A and B are shown apart, each in its own frame.
Chain A
Amino acid sequence: MKRIEAIVKPFKLEEVKNALGEIGVTGMTVLEVKGFGRQKGHTEVYRGAEYVVDFIPKVKIEAAVQDEMVPAVVERILTAARTGKIGDGKIFVFDLEEAIRIRTGERGKEAL
């Protein structure tokens, strides 16, 4: 099992969610996060004074999937979240040791 963590532009969330649903990803967790990468921050002006916003709002999508699904999931996120401009985000893939469904106590693949 793997855990996929994708940080994307907030307005891309809906497209990514739909794309993953189509290939059978059954659940995900979404977090509103702030951060920066190569994009760095941007400058805003308030009442005549400029200021830098270092941490830009992003959405982090977390999903647990079976190993064989990982290439498809990554591919779908790449297509759905890409605008081609700086700030599109990143995908991280982690090994996932265990998954347990709280309601039934099922473990592993069954819990996904």
Chain B
Amino acid sequence: MKTYARKWTCLILCLAALLLAAGTIPPVMAADAPDTASPAAPAAATPPAAAVAPPAAPAIAPTTAQVQKNLDFVWTLVAAFLVFFMQAGFAMVESGFTRAKNAVNIMMKNLMDFAVGSIAFFLVGFGIMFGTNPTGWFGTDGFFLSDFARDADKWLYAFWMFQVVFAATSATIVSGAMAERTKFLSYLVYSAVISALIYPVFGSWAWGGLYHGKGWLEKLGFIDFAGSTVVHSIGGWAALWGAVMLGPRLGRYSRDGKVNAIPGHSIPMAALGVFILWFGWFGFNPGSTTAGNPDIARIAVTTNLAAAAGAITALLTAWWIFKKPDGGMTLNGVLAGLVAITAPCATVTPVGAIWIGAIAGVVVVLSVLFFDRIRIDDPVGAISVHGVCGALGTLLAAVFHEEGFSLARLGVQALGVGAAFVWTGVTAGGLFFLLKKTIGLRVSEEEEMDGLDYHEHGNTAYANFQLIERR
């Protein structure tokens, strides 16, 4: 009873703090109010509504620019919703590749990193990533969407929505690599920190110019159209440090160096996840135009071709090495192709995209085997797919650039890749180290053997099914 009382006191204090914080940001609310109060008379405020009126009023017919603006809003938001659906894809991939006894935990992590990340990105992350950036290293304003008070431009909402799903993608990559052994509370803390600081700071270097900022990397001409490095490598390298700090799952590696398979509980679920991710990527890459224009067609084509090529070469590589057309590796191959084409998708030809996807498909299989050899346990291959192939795609953006290869361009790309590795190593590595020394990063052996579902969440994913495996 005592502990319950203490927990409730804690909760009430937290809520009180939140309310106080909300009280300190009245300008947003105030500026927002007249705008949200207007839907009663939308015709006066927004010209497009007049478009449906009969031609009796040609004077207020929308101009081409207004139609284009509306199209940009719609496309950017539809793409944002597609990218949001990728959260479901990650949840399916990760739970399919892991054991049934941890499925509730995987679902909770994928759900809560989006929820916590959304709030963190609203409060802190967006301002750091896209605020006015005098130094080139981080943004300094625009927190709580407060820029809306200054400009009253609804584009900020569309743009923020598109960016928050990207931030959440970066955050959720990590949960797969840390699956089946991480303390839930520590994962929540990590989710807040990556969305508030780790991702946005690097993002401001490469993408700040999309809004009010201007980062040092983009000034050099760094190409990362939709985020091979900004989103995927950051998530992938954070996953690397998470997996390193945690250590492998119990029984994963024998003393004699043998790698023991820990089969995931549902390959169909993992495959559904990959299909969802492939689908969502049509928002991720073509949506990164944040404009409804003909460019999105080419980007959709390069995205699709790279995914297809990645699947084929990963399949062939796995077939050659393991003598069987391995399902899990082929699924990783699709994702490897998609991650790799994310940076160059707008600046390569379709043939270039096939090359990039094909190379990524081979590399991802070798990379998964490599991380197993050095005993870094990544149950779903997130480090290889997102970290390694994100870096690879960013470099290949220079190699297969439609204007031809240029060493200078490759140098800038390599600088960006290296910066992402170092930045994430210092911050995510430091964060996981701190978590390990304070609240603890890993559950006890008993909890791990019984499954995180039972000990962390108090129930099981598949009630009525007896799960007798105990390893």
CA distance A50 to B322 in the complex (A): 9
CA distance A62 to B228 in the complex (A): 59
Stretch with Cβ within 8 A of B (4 or more), from A2-10, A40-48, A77-85, A94-102 = A40-48
Chain A contact residue count (CB 8 A cutoff)? 8
B262 to chain A, nearest CB (A): 8
Residue on B with the closest CB to A53? B263
Contact of A11 with B by CB under 8 A: no
CA distance A46 to B330 in the complex (A): 12
Q: Which of B261, B328, B365, B372 contacts A51 (CB 8 A)?
A: B261
Residue on A with the closest CB to B264? A46
- Residues of chain A within 8 A (CB-CB) of B328 are 46-47
Binding site for A on B (CB under 8 A): 259-264, 318, 321-322, 324, 326, 328-329, 365, 368-369, 372, 381
Binding site for B on A (CB under 8 A): 44-51
Chain A: interface secondary structure?
Answer: strand
CA distance A45 to B326 in the complex (A): 8
A4 to chain B, nearest CB (A): 27
Residue on A with the closest CB to B326? A45
Residue on A with the closest CB to B324? A45
Q: Which of A44, A47, A49, A50 contacts B381 (CB 8 A)?
A: A47
Q: How many residue pairs bridge A and B at CB < 8 Å?
A: 35
Residue on B with the closest CB to A51? B261
**A47 contacts B260, C-beta separation under 8 Å:** no
Q: Which of A45, A49, A50 contacts B372 (CB 8 A)?
A: A49
**A48 contacts B324, C-beta separation under 8 Å:** no
**A48 contacts B372, C-beta separation under 8 Å:** yes
**A48 contacts B326, C-beta separation under 8 Å:** yes
A35 to chain B, nearest CB (A): 14
CA distance A99 to B259 in the complex (A): 52
CA distance A46 to B262 in the complex (A): 8
**B368 contacts A47, C-beta separation under 8 Å:** yes
With A45-B326, A46-B261 given, can you name 20 additional A-B contacts, CB distance below 8 Å? A44-B261, A44-B263, A45-B261, A45-B322, A45-B324, A46-B263, A46-B264, A47-B261, A47-B326, A47-B329, A47-B368, A48-B318, A48-B321, A48-B326, A48-B329, A48-B365, A48-B372, A49-B259, A49-B372, A51-B260
B234 to chain A, nearest CB (A): 24
B280 to chain A, nearest CB (A): 23
- Residues of chain B within 8 A (CB-CB) of A48 are 259, 318, 321-322, 326, 329, 365, 368-369, 372
**B368 contacts A51, C-beta separation under 8 Å:** no
- Residues of chain B within 8 A (CB-CB) of A51 are 260-261, 263
27 residue pairs A–B, Cβ–Cβ below 8 Å = A44-B261, A45-B261, A45-B322, A45-B324, A45-B326, A46-B261, A46-B262, A46-B263, A46-B264, A46-B328, A47-B261, A47-B328, A47-B329, A47-B381, A48-B321, A48-B322, A48-B326, A48-B329, A48-B365, A48-B368, A48-B369, A48-B372, A49-B259, A49-B260, A51-B260, A51-B261, A51-B263
